[in-house]
């Protein structure tokens, strides 16, 4: 192995000043710079990167000046032979590399792959006799897996290159398979002989991912390879985390209990004890772009005898709004949000109590339920369709499944979250909470479920792995229902109401701690004058948060940078529109940041 | 038939439900409280007459701790009332001075006249 590397390293072993000076005179190739072991590795990795980019001359110049070859001579020889299709030359180089292997036994595997590539290329070009010779003379004597041999020999029957490529899954001599062969062989040699493929790209990617995992307010949809290398990545809190109240909406006459943005982010629906559901429009100011403001659109009445609006649900196409009333709720109402037309009043039986609902993806079917044990599948077209008996429903969500059907997720009074398929009448318990469930909210990409557990906090469950990923603490507990919402482009943010009149916002933390249940403390937004029951993230304007409170108002929160822009826009004269809309500037809101506790 | 005034509550109360085949609820507002599986004894007496001892009851508010001498001895109790309509329903034993009475600690007395028994249904989930 040493003799393979000596070409480059010999002249760097200078023992004394006089010695090295002499050698420097003798060998023109000797570099002017003394390189440490780490530096030499860096040079090799950079050289490989340049070569992969196609800058071969730069790579060569680098090697010459640093006196540090990218890989051993025999390895370079092997590489160029394979790329040129000089199979005999490749075999010869391989023979001289044999001693350098990690394990002697891998030699036959490499020889097999080399011969396999040769065989396939010969078949592709139509030289069947030659291919057969390779099969008999090179592949068979290696006595490796008979299955592979059998599969390869079967390919002789292919009628042409197209069929060969299709059946074998091999993309052809021109399809990058020679490079792929080199990449696959590299793992058998120590890095000093042959570098692992794309080494510098891998290192850079690891560094960026580590920065992303440390980013406390990470709120971007850019993937790691789109982030700049020139500075450590860190999302600015001011640009991503809501901290300023930009609007106070006071059109409601009584406590507001629910707020929901529509899936397309264009509408906000709010409702509460005054038995009225209000639809608001979200408008993004043109100049500067991205500063969203909310204005009143419609007021929809549900009737005084119902005890208030208990829940509001948007259809997935953002066209329809469904309202459930409070405890004595026998009827749910569906309106078209744009026009305010009531298109369905659904009532099944007089003793029903339907206090929560969720839509299915077709924007026609929906499920409703309540804790008296009513759990129905309904549709706008037909009305009541199917009942699932004896389940006391506390909260509902829906999720598309792999087979194309939709599962209904229901939390019940036994603190179980279960999955129901109304098409196959199949059900299953997904997980159990360790306290009574108050409400539940699914992320937009349907991977995470935020469960509000009384006196415990918000628990984030991963729906694919069926484990609890985070337990979010710090909200103030009490006797009243709280709702949470998951938002942000990567489902990174969770917000919830709290009994101390503040809105809690958590960033759910880095991905690197998977499996460890991290305990995180929230940022708290002050401003409301009463219990905050419900919050909702805008799915399109990330960072925009709505909160509903017992102080009869709904507040809109924006990141500091966006809020400044929104205020500037309102000062230009885009004043209040409909009744009961007050646009004031920044309200007295403060953000108190908790220091994150040491990771448990 | 509920005469309570709901408007003095803030937010929507979180009402739990213990389920069960025979459900006990508040006679005034029908708020679910407990079920027959939680019933330990029917041989107690309260202000309105017969009272039941239950193991676990939900949706109750409790008062401050009180020192009370009863037929069975001296106890530290808290009054309990319906979380929804605030009607006083009974009490919970926190501490019994006599050893023979200590089995009652943590258990709840609900007066029979102040609760309704109604039909529930069994939990269909088997796992």
CA separation (Å) from A374 to A181, A252, A390?
Answer: 62, 30, 7
- Residue B14 and residue A438: Cβ atoms within 8 Å? yes
Place of tokens 């460890």: A516
State the pLDDT at residue A231: 86
Burial class of A484 by CB neighbour count within 10 A (0 to 12, 13 to 18, 19+) = buried
Nearest Cα of chain A lies from the Cα of B102 at a distance, in angstroms, of 27
d(C-alpha B20, C-alpha A56), whole Å: 78
d(C-alpha A138, C-alpha A174), whole Å: 23
State the pLDDT at residue A37: 87
Query: Six-digit token pair at A199?
Result: 């080494």
Question: A2 or A367: which carries more pLDDT confidence?
Answer: A367
| List of residues 6+ apart from A564 with CB closer than 8 A | A244
pLDDT band at A566 (very low <50, low <70, confident <90, very high): low
Q: Are strands A503-507 and A523-525 parallel, antiparallel or unpaired?
A: antiparallel
State the pLDDT at residue A152: 85
Per DSSP, what are the bridge partners of residue A569?
Answer: none
State the pLDDT at residue A519: 55
pLDDT band at A7 (very low <50, low <70, confident <90, very high): very low
With vertex at residue A317, the alpha carbon angle to CA A316 and CA A321, rounded to the nearest 5 degrees, is 75
B12–A contact, CB cutoff 8 A:
yes
**In terms of Cα–Cα distance, which of A247, A314, A315 is closest to A277?**
A314
For residues A307-330, average pLDDT = 91
Helix (H, G, I), strand (E, B) or coil at A289: coil
User: Looking at A434-438, A449-453, A569-573, A581-585, which range is the least confident one?
Assistant: A581-585
Nearest Cα of chain B lies from the Cα of A253 at a distance, in angstroms, of 13
For residues A193-203, average pLDDT = 87
State the pLDDT at residue A234: 77
With vertex at residue A498, the alpha carbon angle to CA A493 and CA A500, rounded to the nearest 5 degrees, is 135
Helix (H, G, I), strand (E, B) or coil at B53: strand
Chain A positions with Cβ closer than 8 Å to B: 255, 257, 273, 307-308, 310, 326, 371, 373, 389-392, 413-414, 416, 418, 427, 429, 436, 438, 454, 479-481, 530-531, 533, 550
pLDDT in tens, A68-110: 888 888 888 888 888 888 888 888 888 888 888 878 888 888 8
Q: How much of chain A, in percent, has pLDDT values that exceed 90? A: 46
pLDDT in tens, A121-144: 888 888 888 888 888 888 888 888
Domains of chain A: 71-194 (no CATH), 244-568 (2.130.10.10)
Average pLDDT, chain A: 83
B119, closest residue in chain A (CA to CA)? A372
Question: Which residues from chain A sit within 8 angstroms of residue B32, using beta carbons?
Answer: 371
- The yes-or-no verdict on residue A62 having pLDDT over 70 is yes
**In terms of Cα–Cα distance, which of A74, A68, A6, A5 is closest to A36?**
A68
Residue A179: phi and psi, rounded to 5, are -65, -40
pLDDT in tens, A242-294: 889 999 999 999 999 999 999 999 999 999 999 999 999 999 866 656 678 89
B11–A contact, CB cutoff 8 A:
yes
State the pLDDT at residue B118: 95
pLDDT in tens, A380-422: 999 999 999 999 999 999 999 999 999 999 999 999 999 999 9
State the pLDDT at residue A398: 97
What number of C-beta contacts closer than 8 Å exist between A and B? 60
State the pLDDT at residue A300: 93
- Which residue stretches of chain B have pLDDT < 50? 1-9
Q: Report the residue of B1, B2, B11, B19 to disrupt the A interface, i.e. the one with the largest count of A CBs within 10 Å.
A: B11
Query: Six-digit token pair at A318?
Result: 């953002």
- DSSP class of residue A367 equals E
| Cβ-contact A184, A113 below 8 angstroms | yes
- Enumerate the domain spans of chain B: 22-119
Q: Report the residue of A355, A415, A416, A479 to disrupt the B interface, i.e. the one with the largest count of B CBs within 10 Å.
A: A479
Question: Which residues from chain A sit within 8 angstroms of residue B125, using beta carbons?
Answer: 414, 416, 418, 427, 429
- Residue B123 and residue A371: Cβ atoms within 8 Å? no
Q: What ipTM describes this predicted complex?
A: 0.89
State the pLDDT at residue A149: 86
Helix (H, G, I), strand (E, B) or coil at A374: coil
Question: Across the interface, which of A416, A480, A530 has its CB nearest the CB of B14?
Answer: A480
Residue B93 exposure: Cα atoms within 13 Å on the Cβ side: 24
Task: Supply the angle between the helices A87-97 and A106-124 in degrees, to the nearest 10.
Answer: 170
B124, closest residue in chain A (CA to CA)? A390
Question: Which residues from chain A sit within 8 angstroms of residue B85, using beta carbons?
Answer: none
- The yes-or-no verdict on residue A157 having pLDDT over 70 is yes
Nearest Cα of chain A lies from the Cα of B6 at a distance, in angstroms, of 9
Instruction: Select from 1.10.150.20, 2.170.150.20, 3.40.50.170, 3.40.50.150 the CATH code of B22-119.
Output: 2.170.150.20
Element (H, E) at A600: none
Q: How much of chain A, in percent, has pLDDT values that exceed 70? A: 84
CA A597, A468, A534, A339 torsion-angle sign: positive
CA separation (Å) from A23 to A20, A30, A31, A36, A51?
Answer: 5, 8, 11, 18, 30
State the pLDDT at residue A392: 96
- The yes-or-no verdict on residue A327 having pLDDT over 50 is yes
- DSSP class of residue A598 equals P
Question: A235 or A428: which carries more pLDDT confidence?
Answer: A428
Question: A577 or A411: which carries more pLDDT confidence?
Answer: A411
Per DSSP, what are the bridge partners of residue A313?
Answer: A322
Question: Which residues from chain B sit within 8 angstroms of residue A326, using beta carbons?
Answer: 12
Neighbours of A420 (CB within 10 A): 22
What is the maximum span of chain A, computed from C-alpha positions, in angstroms?
Answer: 104
Question: Which residues from chain A sit within 8 angstroms of residue B35, using beta carbons?
Answer: none
């Amino acid at each position: 192995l040493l003799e393979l590397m000596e070409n480059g390293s010999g002249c760097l072993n200078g023992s004394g000043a006089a010695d090295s000076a002499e050698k420097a005179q003798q060998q023109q190739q000797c570099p002017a710079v003394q390189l440490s072991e780490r530096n030499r590795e860096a040079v090799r990795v950079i050289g490989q990167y340049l070569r992969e980019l196609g800058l071969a001359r730069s790579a060569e110049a680098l090697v010459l000046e640093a006196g540090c070859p990218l890989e051993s001579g025999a390895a370079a020889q092997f590489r160029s032979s394979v790329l040129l299709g000089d199979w005999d030359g490749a075999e010869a180089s391989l023979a001289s590399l044999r001693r350098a292997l990690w394990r002697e036994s891998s030699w036959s595997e490499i020889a097999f792959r080399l011969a396999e590539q040769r065989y396939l290329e010969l078949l592709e070009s139509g030289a069947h006799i030659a291919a057969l010779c390779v099969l008999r003379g090179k592949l068979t004597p290696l006595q490796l897996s008979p299955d592979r041999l059998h599969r390869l020999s079967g390919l002789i029957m292919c009628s042409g290159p197209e069929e060969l490529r299709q059946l074998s899954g091999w993309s052809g001599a021109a399809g990058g398979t020679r490079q792929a062969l080199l990449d696959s062989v590299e793992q058998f040699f120590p890095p000093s002989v042959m570098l692992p493929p794309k080494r510098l790209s891998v290192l850079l990617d690891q560094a960026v991912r580590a920065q992303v995992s440390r980013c406390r307010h990470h709120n971007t949809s850019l993937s790691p390879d789109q982030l700049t290398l020139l500075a450590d990545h860190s999302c600015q809190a001011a640009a991503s985390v809501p901290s300023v109240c930009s609007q106070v909406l006071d059109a409601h006459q009584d406590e507001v209990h629910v707020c929901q943005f529509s899936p397309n982010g264009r509408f906000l629906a709010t409702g509460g004890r005054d038995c009225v559901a209000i639809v608001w429009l979200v408008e993004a100011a043109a100049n500067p772009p991205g500063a969203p403001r909310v204005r009143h659109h419609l007021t929809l009445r549900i009737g005084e005898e119902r005890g208030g609006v208990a829940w509001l649900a948007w259809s997935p196409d953002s066209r329809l709004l469904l309202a459930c009333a409070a405890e004595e709720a026998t009827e749910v109402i569906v309106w078209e949000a744009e026009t305010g037309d009531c298109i369905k009043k659904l009532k099944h039986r007089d003793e029903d109590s339907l206090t929560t609902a969720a839509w299915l993806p077709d924007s026609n079917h929906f499920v409703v339920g309540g804790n008296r044990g009513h759990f129905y599948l309904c549709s706008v077209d037909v009305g009541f369709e199917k009942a699932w008996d004896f389940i006391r429903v506390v909260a509902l969500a829906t999720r598309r499944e792999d087979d194309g059907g939709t599962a209904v997720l229901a939390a019940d009074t036994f603190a179980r979250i279960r999955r129901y398929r109304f098409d196959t009448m199949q059900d299953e318990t997904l997980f159990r909470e360790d306290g009574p469930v108050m409400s539940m909210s699914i992320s937009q990409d349907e991977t995470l479920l935020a469960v509000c557990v009384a006196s415990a906090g918000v628990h984030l469950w991963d729906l694919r792995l069926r484990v609890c990923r985070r337990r979010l603490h710090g909200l103030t507990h009490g006797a009243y229902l709280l709702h949470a919402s998951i938002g942000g482009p990567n489902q990174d943010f969770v917000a919830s109401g709290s009994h101390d009149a503040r809105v809690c916002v958590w960033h759910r933390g880095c991905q690197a701690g998977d499996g460890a249940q991290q305990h995180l403390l929230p940022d708290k937004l002050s401003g409301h004058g009463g219990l905050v029951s419900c919050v909702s993230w805008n799915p399109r304007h990330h960072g925009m948060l709505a909160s509903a409170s017992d102080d009869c108002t709904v507040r809109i929160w924006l990141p500091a940078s966006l809020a400044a822009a929104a205020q500037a826009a309102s000062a230009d004269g885009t004043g209040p529109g409909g009744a009961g809309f007050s646009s004031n500037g920044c309200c007295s809101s403060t953000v108190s940041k908790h220091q994150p506790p040491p990771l448990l | 038939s509920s005469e309570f005034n709901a408007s003095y509550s803030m937010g929507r109360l979180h009402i739990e439900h213990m389920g069960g085949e025979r459900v006990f609820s508040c006679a005034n507002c029908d708020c679910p409280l407990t079920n027959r599986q939680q019933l330990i004894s029917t041989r107690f007496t309260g202000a309105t007459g017969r009272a039941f001892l239950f193991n676990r009851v939900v949706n109750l508010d409790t008062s401050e701790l009180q020192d009370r001498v009863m037929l069975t001895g001296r106890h530290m109790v808290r009054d309990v009332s319906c979380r929804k309509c605030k009607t006083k329903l009974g009490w919970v034993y926190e501490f019994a001075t006599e050893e023979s009475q200590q089995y009652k600690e943590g258990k709840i007395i609900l007066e029979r006249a102040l609760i309704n028994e109604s039909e529930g249904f069994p939990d269909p989930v088997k796992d």
